[in-house]
Structure 1
Amino acid sequence: MQATAGDRIVIRGKTVETPDRHGEIVEVRGENGGPPYLVKFENGHETVVFPGSDFVVEHQA
C-alpha cells in the first residue's frame, strides 16, 4: 500500500452498526509511501495508523 500526504482514507466499520471512519493522511512515515501514516480524522483526532484489511486509500486527483 502506498500513499502521500493529502490522500483521504476510509477505515470500514467492523459491524453494520459501526460507521466508517474518514480521515486525511497528514504524514507518511514509512519508506516509498508505505505505512505507518499519521492520520487526522474528521473529529480532529490525530494518530499513527498501520493499515489493515479494512483500510482504503483514496488518492488525491
Structure 2
Amino acid sequence: MNGRIGDRLLVHGNIVGQPDRQGEIIEVRGEDGGPPFLVRFDDGHETLVYPGPDAVIESREHLPR
C-alpha cells in the first residue's frame, strides 16, 4: 500500500459499533511511498500508522476540490 502527502487514509472499524476513521497523510516515512505514514485524523489527532487490511488510501488526485 503506497501513499503520498495529501492522500486520504480511511480505516474501517473492525469491531461492531466502531466508527471508521479518516485522515490526511502528512508525511510518508517508508521507501517508495510505503508505510509508515504520519496521519492527521479528522479529530486533529496525529499518529504514525502502519495500515492493515482494513485501510484504504484515496489518492488526492481523485478527491473533490
Match of 2:41 in 1: 41
Counterpart in the other structure of 1:27: 27
Question: Which blocks of at least 5 consecutive residues in structure 1 are unaligned?
Answer: none
Question: TM-score of the superposition, structure 2-length normalised?
Answer: 0.90
Identity %: 56
Poorly superposed stretches of 4+, deviation over 2 Å:
none
Extract unaligned runs of 5+ from structure 2. Answer: none
Deviation string 1:16-49 (CA, Å, 9 cap, x unpaired) is: 3111000000000000000000000001000000
Paired residues in the alignment total: 61
> TM-score, normalized by length of structure 1?
0.95
Structure with greater helix percent: 2
